[in-house]
């Protein structure tokens, strides 16, 4: 069953007793259709699109290149929404986490991670997750539903509002941005919501839209092999793969999607990923679990497995969560592991846990939302 887009289910009604239509989530073509319906030329859609996505306005009155009478007509028919924020948390390390409340009451998390040379926004693609990776907190929350394109985009809107980082007439392009990079690494498996993620990413990458280049976007997957190819062809964003184990028996256990798409298939999809043919490396993510996957033997096998793929291996010290069944590997074993990979010629940064005090680090995102059983 497909649900109607809840972002359009605004309970308030306009002057004519109609529900206003949310522009957030529409692509340019959809806005053109809207404009045609109300007798406006298609270029009006270009203006709207730019105001909404590039300038971040939420008020039709600010659309100075549109005639005043039309602005008020538009305001009767449309809204430019922002979601409610249930929680907005600051970590001592500068990381910020928002718990966003969607129009149907469900909640998702979004995290902003400032670094010296960039600022990364970690975006969710689903409420809950189907994957059940054993070390991941989100995996303990059942899938409630996929996010709509507008709900994916709104996470960026929220962050840009908060950081006060919308371009304006005076500030057309932004250097030194606090929000320069996007990672699809929040709650959910983005490739299991491919159509909506793709629709949102196209607006994010569009220079007239949110305008963040594909070179600054990374999509992380646990390994939905058939969609990895589509992701490369349609989106061309950077690919991160949650590897976490180098033998099928262990990976079946801790990343259960491996039973469907085993390592050999996953690695060959990575080999074929378009980015890997030009200069863009694939990121392999590897969570360091004490005594489980962190031996020197595992590191050597990892090197063998990915040989020939332009790659970097991101080691993620395990981030604990309430009653989690694993422990973080010692610093020493993480360093040994990293050294083996580096000696084989692959960069192997150790990801510093960020926002641990507000449960914002990798694998710590979860909301209270539950699936309502179908009647």
Residues with a known catalytic role? 109, 362
Q: Which positions from 314 through 333 interact with ligand SAH, judged by CB under 6 A?
A: 316, 318-319
Rg of the chain taking only CA atoms, in angstroms: 22
Binding mask 281-310 for ligand SAH (x = CB under 6 A): ----x-x-----------------------
CA 20 remoteness from chain centre = 28
Query: Which of 220, 283, 329, 348: binder of ligand SAH (CB under 6 A)?
Result: 220
- Whose tokens are 């659309």? That residue is 63
Q: Candidates 41-49, 56-64, 70-78, 215-223: pick the segment binding ligand SAH (CB under 6 A).
A: 215-223
Contact status, residue 289 vs residue 246, Cβ threshold 8 Å: no
Contact status, residue 245 vs residue 293, Cβ threshold 8 Å: yes
- Whose tokens are 């491996």? That residue is 258
Query: Which of 136, 152, 217, 266: binder of ligand SAH (CB under 6 A)?
Result: 136
CB of 182 to ligand SAH, least distance (A): 13
CB burial of 330-340 (b: ≥16 within 10 Å; e: otherwise) equals eeebbeebbeb
Residue 66 within binding range of ligand SAH, rule CB under 6 A: no
Q: Which is nearer to ligand SAH, 26 or 313 (CB)?
A: 313
CB of 348 to ligand SAH, least distance (A): 15
> Tokens representing 326?
């694993």
Residue 189 within binding range of ligand SAH, rule CB under 6 A: yes
Q: Which is nearer to ligand SAH, 80 or 123 (CB)?
A: 123
- Any idea of the CA torsion for 154, 157, 162, 168, to the nearest 10 degrees? -170
Phi then psi dihedrals of residue 286, to 5 deg = -140, 110
CB of 367 to ligand SAH, least distance (A): 15
Residue 242 within binding range of ligand SAH, rule CB under 6 A: yes
How far apart, in Å, are the Cα atoms of 121 and each of 109, 147, 155, 350? 11, 17, 9, 19
- Which position's Cβ is nearest ligand SAH? 363
Binding mask 104-133 for ligand SAH (x = CB under 6 A): ---------------------------x-x
CB of 165 to ligand SAH, least distance (A): 24
How far apart, in Å, are the Cα atoms of 35 and each of 58, 80, 334? 18, 15, 56
Contact status, residue 270 vs residue 228, Cβ threshold 8 Å: yes
Residue 156 within binding range of ligand SAH, rule CB under 6 A: no
Binding site for ligand SAH (CB under 6 A): 131, 133, 135-136, 185, 189, 220-222, 242, 285, 287, 316, 318-319, 362-363
């Amino acid at each position: 069953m497909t649900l109607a887009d809840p972002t359009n289910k605004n309970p308030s009604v306009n002057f004519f007793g109609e529900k206003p239509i949310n522009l957030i989530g529409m692509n340019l073509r959809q806005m053109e259709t809207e404009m045609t319906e109300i007798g406006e030329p298609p270029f009006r859609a270009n203006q709207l699109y730019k105001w909404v996505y590039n300038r971040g306005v939420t008020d039709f009155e600010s659309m100075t290149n549109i005639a005043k009478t039309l602005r008020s007509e538009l305001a009767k028919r449309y809204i430019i929404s922002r979601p409610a924020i249930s929680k907005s948390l600051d970590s001592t390390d500068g990381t910020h986490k928002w718990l966003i409340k969607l129009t149907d009451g469900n909640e998702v998390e979004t995290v902003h991670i400032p670094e010296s040379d960039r600022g990364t926004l970690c975006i969710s693609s689903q409420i809950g997750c189907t994957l059940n990776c054993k070390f991941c907190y989100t995996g303990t929350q059942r899938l409630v539903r996929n996010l709509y394109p507008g709900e994916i985009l709104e996470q960026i809107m929220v962050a840009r509002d908060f950081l006060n980082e919308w371009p304006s007439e005076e500030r057309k392009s932004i250097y030194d941005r606090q929000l320069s990079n996007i990672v699809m690494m929040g709650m959910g498996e983005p490739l299991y919501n491919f159509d909506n993620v793709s629709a949102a990413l196209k607006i994010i990458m569009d220079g007239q839209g949110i305008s963040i280049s594909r070179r600054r976007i990374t999509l992380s997957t646990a390994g939905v092999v058939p969609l990895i190819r589509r992701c490369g062809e349609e989106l061309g964003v950077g690919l991160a793969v949650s590897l976490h184990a180098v033998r099928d028996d262990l990976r079946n256990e801790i990343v259960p999607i491996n039973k469907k798409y085993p390592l050999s298939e996953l690695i060959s999809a990575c080999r074929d990923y378009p980015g890997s043919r030009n200069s863009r490396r694939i990121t392999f993510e590897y969570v360091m679990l004490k005594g489980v996957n962190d031996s020197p033997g595992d590191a050597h096998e990892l090197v063998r497995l990915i040989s020939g793929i332009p790659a970097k291996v991101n080691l993620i010290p395990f981030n604990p969560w309430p009653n989690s069944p694993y422990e973080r590997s010692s610093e020493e074993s993480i360093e040994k592991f990293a050294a083996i990979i580096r000696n084989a010629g692959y960069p192997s940064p150790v990801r510093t846990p960020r926002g641990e005090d507000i449960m914002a680090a990798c694998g710590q995102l979860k909301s209270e939302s539950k699936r309502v059983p179908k009647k």
